[in-house]
Every structure is written in structure tokens, then in C-alpha cells.
Structure 1
Amino acid sequence: MSFHLSSHDVHIREENGSTMLLAQVRDHTGKLCSRKIRLDDHIGNSDGYFIWDGANFTRSARNIGLEASDRGPKLTADLEMHGGGTRGRQGLFLADKIANVDGHLKFLGA
């Protein structure tokens, strides 16, 4: 299940040079649990574009944010290109690859 449908207080926070996704996530009993997942373990920057199954996007990102959308939380940032500059604001829908598995935020790999 896409995590945002069973979560509250979804937000991001920078911790030790990485971007963390935090939320109150429901388990199978309905109890809300405080959970977080390190987005830099699953998201990278490929020449100015977000990519899944990458790593450490935070190192080359500026103005990192989280926006609400019809498809769930959207991670946004200005990502550096190899030669410098950016491609403008980029976005990635977190619910495409992050799920709530019995009250835990889990990355759904390729």
C-alpha cells in the first residue's frame, strides 16, 4: 500500500547530510507509529534528474522540499548537472516506490 494513504504528518528533515522522510504510519491494528526512512539510500541524481535505485541525491541538491499532490507526497529539488547548473525544479513521487508494510516505511525496489 502506498504509505501516504495510511500515514499522517508526512514531512522531510535533513539529518547528518541526508534527507529523511518521516511520518506517523498505521500498522495492521490501526496504531500510529513514528517512522522514518533515509531517502538518500534509494534516490540519486543523474545529471540533474532524480533517479530511483540511486544514492545520495542530497549531496548535489538545493532547495529540497516536499509538496502535496494527487499522487501523494512529491519530493522536489534543484539538482546539479555534471557540468554545473540545474535543469530547473525536479520532482519525484515518493508513493511510487515507498510503502507502508505493517507500520514500517519500506522501499519497493525495481
Structure 2
Amino acid sequence: MSFHSSSSDIHITHENGSTMLVCQVRDTHGKMNPRRIRLDDHIGNTDGWFIWGGVNFTQSAENIALEHTDRGPKLTAELHKRDGGFRERQGLFLADKISNQDGHLKFTGP
């Protein structure tokens, strides 16, 4: 199940050098559950591009934000390149790889 269509209060927080996706997620009984997933366990930075299956993008990102779009929440940031510069603002649709499994946020693979 697409997490954003069964969740509310979707936002990000920054904790201990990591970016967390935080929201209220509905389970199969209709109960809303507070949930969080550490995005740095699933998203990396490869030369200024977000990459699913990578790790620790927060360490090489600036101006991290969450945009709410018709396609679902979009993580955006300015990411460092290997040469020390930045690529233009990058975006990644979180619902492409994060799902709601009975009230729990799950990463669905690279």
C-alpha cells in the first residue's frame, strides 16, 4: 500500500546527523500509528544524485526539504558532487520505495 495515501502529518526531521521520515500511518484496522523511518539507511548520494539503496545522503546534502506533490512526498536537497561543487536541486519520490505494511513504514528495496 502506498504509504502517503494512508498516512497523515507527513514530514521530515533531522536527528543525530540523519534525516527521518515521520508520519501517522493507518493500519488494516483503521488505527493511526506514529511511525518513523531513517532515510539515511536507504538513500545515498552518488556524485550529486540521490540513489536508492545507498546510505547517509544527509552527510553530503544541504537545504533538505520535503515537498508535497500529487505523486506523493518528494525529498529534495542540494547534493555535493565529488569535485566539491553542487548539482542543481535534486528530488526523489519517497512513495516509489517506501510502503505502508499494516501500519508500518517499510523500504521495498533498491
TM-score (norm 2): 0.99
Percent identity of paired positions between Structure 1 and Structure 2: 70
Q: Deviation digits for residues 7-49 of structure 1, max 9, x if unmatched?
A: 0000000010000000000000000000000000000000000
Q: In structure 2, what is the Cα distance between the partners aligned to 1:2 and 1:39?
A: 17
- Identify unmatched segments of 5+ residues in structure 1: none
For the residue of structure 1 that corresponds to 2:72, the secondary structure is coil
Does structure 1 residue 66 correspond to structure 2 residue 66? yes
Q: C-alpha displacement at 1:99, in angstroms? A: 0.2
Does structure 1 residue 46 correspond to structure 2 residue 46? yes
Tell me the matched-pair count.
Answer: 110
Residue in structure 2 matched with residue 96 of structure 1 by the alignment: 96
Residue in structure 1 matched with residue 14 of structure 2 by the alignment: 14
Q: C-alpha displacement at 1:70, in angstroms? A: 1.4
- Identify unmatched segments of 5+ residues in structure 2: none
Q: In structure 1, what is the Cα distance between the partners aligned to 2:16 and 2:103?
A: 25
Residue in structure 2 matched with residue 5 of structure 1 by the alignment: 5
Q: C-alpha displacement at 1:94, in angstroms? A: 0.1
Q: In structure 2, what is the Cα distance between the partners aligned to 1:54 and 1:25?
A: 25
TM-score (norm 1): 0.99
Kindly report the root-mean-square deviation, in angstroms, between the aligned alpha carbons of the 2 structures. Answer: 0.5
Structure 1 residue ranges (4+ consecutive) displaced by more than 3 angstroms after TM superposition: none
Residue in structure 1 matched with residue 28 of structure 2 by the alignment: 28
Q: In structure 2, what is the Cα distance between the partners aligned to 1:27 and 1:15?
A: 26
